[in-house]
Structure 1
């Protein structure tokens, strides 16, 4: 008897099944305001009455920043004060984004991020089996989240800290490494059906209580699972076989900032320029060839479902790095809407204009300091190092020859070893040299059989000396065949 194949649930049916599963397993659902009061305890943020909106100053406490995106209304950004009234106002609304971070100022720029209250992991590709496995693995294999949030399509795992982490550029880099390593552990073949997606610690997530992508009838829900955690506890779950493991030197006592009075005495020029005159920090820009190269890759069919949002976000990062106007960036980003929407799979995870609007906010937040390898992880692509710094080959060679010529004039380089000299540091090179002199028509394979030297070493030193000999016809024919073969590859 042929067994009937189990009917696949629709997205909305799957959402309802997950809500039912949490209830049956007695996980406590936490109301939105209760969730955010636990994340941001009383006294965390400035009070609205103490905040000077004109000068963006208060009594020394940060504020949360909420972003709501809508195709018709555009991007709206509001401060979250200590009473959390802004959050209460947005319950039930669509496309409401919030980061677990306290900011100084009204902008979500990286340099304004001062306190991190939780580390959050996005987990997509979640059927019922993956949901069960995720909660099961929290018993031992992956850290137990403080809250598991049902975001609609997937889960958001909130690891709320016992004490907020003070942020600066160094700590942000180290925490991003930690999050990358933990993502590789949390996002495994049992917890997700799709490839891992890597996100920075400042990533915003749909607000608990707001509408999910499925609509207002399917809100983002939070369930209490574990206790608050610490950085040390999270590091204990870091995969020890990853190369990043030995790179952790997180200094949690690192000061948020130097007091202005002290900074005025230490760096008077900086204080006058940045504080008194309000000038922006200087930075350098990359040639626009980098932006064009990246846009070409995003249009080349390499991006998969699950990485489309980050593809647009990284395009915004490169636009900042290359000093591309927002108008040009916006036009290029929307040109990817149709081809990226065509990638939508059976799960119905559509790619919309709202996704593009959300991703493009990175341009206004000053996120131009993301390194190459992190950008590659965001979009799931290899990021080869461009050793020419995006110069053309002709420009690169001209520069290299100029530098070499200058070094020769200064006596710092010469053209190889003096004729007839021996390479005492590499005796095998001398053996290969002598064998070639005695066997001018010999091959590398014959040299290997005669000298027993490793083929890699023979290849390394084979052309280190010039050997005069008459070429054999069969050798010329082989060279011609090789050239033809590689030419065909280039054409393809």
Structure 2
């Protein structure tokens, strides 16, 4: 057994002992009944979706040796006891979020209710847990936290569950507000050398799935355990701990308010009026984006930090959707960059399954994912393009005029020699060393990985 595994097991046992001393353990079957009391019964069909259901993922032994890694299943109320023992208990890989969905697919677009808001804390030992204890349940102040309903041991860290008294209806604008609230509280909860041994904060979506209680952590073979630490919470209670007022959730604002009447919008935005009002097409408009944006994102891999490797892959898929890159090409690119990303140190190793999970975001629903979202998830700074509110064609005309008519005394802003000479250097090296990774090429040529990716 490696020293790393020995340390993980030692931390796990110390955390378990401390939680068990203060709180009572809860079994997995009862844990999910508590969070999702209103799932449908088997055979029950609710045409108006008055009973959305939890949807979980599990590993089926029948899929061993195939490309299929996980199966989806609805958490049905009357068969849960049997299903839990068959599909979850002792399973090396199961995932479930705190949301309830209409239909059978656990995608954010189908999420109808939030039953629980869940946070992930990586790399937690005895000292980090003691610091967490000192912060939870205290009055709102700097770094204090609301009292969670459950604390779950994930194997190497903790999952912090806040179960709502009444599920939060996830209208479109409420989803955005809940995301902002979760980001705000994540920043408050995650502190290096205090509540986590990891330096990098990991921001996650409200749709994130977590290892299920009663299953096992497949990386270390440690059981996932839950402890009841508090009561159900209200949204008003959670809002008190949010640092910025703009990140608090207002359930009375389920839709984004508009500044314009329909007549004003018709005059100001005729194209939108024709598409949405006249034609009834309410899908978000897509834009014709060149693949340069996707290629640029690939070149940012050298900026990736330990806790953000998966999110870099996820945003690869998002940028691919924006730029209409074929999914097959994205998959091939992910495998090419995988070896580089898994070399980045972190307490949780990057797995091939992370590629398959990241590819699930290759979907039109993520088309309008914002730059701010991507920066939060990946911790890679992105400077927004500024055209001073001009359209692109107008901006290009002005920039071309500046280029052609203004003289630069000290330096010339263009590289008139064409591409840098490093291009030939990289290509010659690859020809002689075709099996070397981008990291090895950059190191041996003493250039950045960005340059390597530019010419690879």
After TM superposition, give the deviation of residue 271 of structure 1 in Å.
12
Whether 1:168 and 2:164 are equivalent positions in the alignment is: no
CA contact 1:108–1:365 (8 Å) conserved in 2? no
Q: 1:114 aligns with which of 94, 112, 115?
A: 112
- What is the alpha-carbon distance in structure 2 between the residues aligned to residue 146 and residue 61 of structure 1? 23
Tell me by how many angstroms 1:108 deviates.
2.5
RMSD over aligned Cα atoms: 3.6
SS of equivalent to 2:22: coil
Q: CA deviation at 1:138?
A: 0.9
Q: Give the match for residue 18 of structure 1.
A: 15
* 1:311-460 → structure 2 map (5 Å cutoff): 311-345=312-346, 347=347, 349-364=348-363, 366-387=365-386, 397-400=395-398
User: Contact between 2:181 and 2:249, CA under 8 Å: does it hold in 1?
Assistant: no
Q: Residue 212 of structure 1: CA displacement? A: 1.1
2:191 is matched with: 188
The equivalent of 1:226 in structure 2 is 230
- Say how many residue pairs are matched: 373
Residue 251 of structure 2 aligns with which residue? 251
- Residue in 2 aligned with 1:36? 32
Q: Distance in 2 between matches of 1:365 and 1:357?
A: 17
- Are residues 1:199 and 2:200 paired? no
Are residues 86 and 123 of structure 1, via their aligned partners in 2, closer, same or farther at CA, if it must alter by over 3 Å? same
Given that 1:68 and 1:77 are in contact with CA atoms closer than 8 Å, whether structure 2 keeps it comes out as yes
Report the Cα offset of residue 302 of structure 1: 0.8
Residue in structure 1 matched with residue 99 of structure 2 by the alignment:
101
Say which SS state the counterpart of residue 43 (structure 2) adopts.
helix
String of CA shifts for 1:240-299, please: whole Å, max 9, x gaps.
Answer: xxxx424546125749xxxxxxxxxxxxx999999xxxx99463143322222112212x
Q: Which runs of 4+ in 1 moved over 6 A?
A: 269-274, 401-404
What 5-or-longer segments of structure 2 have no aligned partner? 139-143, 256-274, 403-407, 423-446, 448-456
Measured in 1, the distance between the counterparts of 2:228 and 2:279 equals 48
**CA distances 1:179-201 after superposition (whole Å, capped 9, x unpaired):** 11111111123111222111121
- The question of whether the paired residues in 2 share the 8 Å contact of 1:110 and 1:365 is answered with no
Distance 1:74 1:365, change over 3 A: farther
Unmatched segments (≥5 aa) in structure 1: 1-6, 256-268, 405-475
> For 1:92, what is the secondary structure of its paired residue?
coil
Q: Is the contact between residue 92 and residue 215 of structure 2 (CA under 8 Å) also seen in structure 1? A: yes
Q: How far does residue 396 in structure 1 lie from its aligned partner after superposition?
A: 6.8
| Cα pair distance change 1:341/1:247, threshold 3 Å | closer
Q: TM-score, normalised by structure 1?
A: 0.68
Identify the match of residue 135 of structure 2 among 134, 137, 157: 137
> How far, CA to CA, are the matches of 2:249 and 2:226 in structure 1?
33
The answer on whether the counterparts of 2:35 and 2:116 sit within 8 Å (CA) in structure 1 is yes
Cα deviation for residue 45 of structure 1 reads 1.9
For the pair shown, the structure with the greater C-alpha radius of gyration is 1
Residue 322 of structure 1, CA deviation: 2.2
